[in-house]
Amino acid sequence: MKLFNWVKEHGLRNDWVKDSTLSWHAGFRGRQDCVGDYIKELRRKIGSAFCFEIRGERWSREKPIEYKVWLAEEVS
| DSSP for 27-58, written as a single string | TSTT-TT-SHHHHHHHHHHH-TTEEEEEES-T
Of 48, 53, 40, whose CA–CA distance to 12 is shortest? 53
* pTM, 2 dp: 0.80
Domain boundaries, the chain: 2-71
Per-residue pLDDT of the chain (76 residues; tens, 9 = 90+): 888 888 888 888 899 999 999 999 888 887 877 898 999 999 999 999 999 999 998 888 889 999 999 999 887 6
Contact 12, 51 (CB under 8 A): no
